Structure 1
Amino acid sequence: MNSLENARFDTVKRLFAAYVAQHPEFVDPMLTRDFTFSSPRDDHINREQYFEQCWPKEKAFRDIHIEHLVADGNDVIVGYRAEKMDGGSFRNVELIRFAGDRIAEVNVYFGRHL
Structure 2
Amino acid sequence: MSAATAVVQDFMRAFREQDRGAAERLMADDFDFTSPQDDHLDRDAWLRICFPTAGHFDAPATTLQLIEVDGLVLHRYEYVVDGTRYRNVEALEVRDGAVHTVEVYFGGAVDRGA
- TM-score with structure 2 length normalisation? 0.85
Distance in structure 1 (CA, Å) of the matches to 2:84 and 2:46: 24
Distance in structure 2 (CA, Å) of the matches to 1:77 and 1:16: 13
2:90 counterpart of 1:74: no
Shift of the alpha carbon at 1:88? 3.0
* Contact 2:64–2:76 (CA under 8 A) maintained in structure 1: yes
- Runs of at least 4 residues off by over 2 Å: 86-89
**Where does the alignment leave 5 or more consecutive residues of structure 1 unmatched?**
none
2:36 paired residue among 37, 40, 45:
40
Q: State how many pairs are aligned.
A: 109
Distance in structure 1 (CA, Å) of the matches to 2:35 and 2:54: 21
**Identity level (%):** 28
**Where does the alignment leave 5 or more consecutive residues of structure 2 unmatched?**
none
SS at match of 1:13: helix
- TM-score with structure 1 length normalisation? 0.85
Distance in structure 1 (CA, Å) of the matches to 2:16 and 2:83: 15
Shift of the alpha carbon at 1:89? 2.5
Shift of the alpha carbon at 1:98? 1.4
Distance in structure 2 (CA, Å) of the matches to 1:6 and 1:78: 13
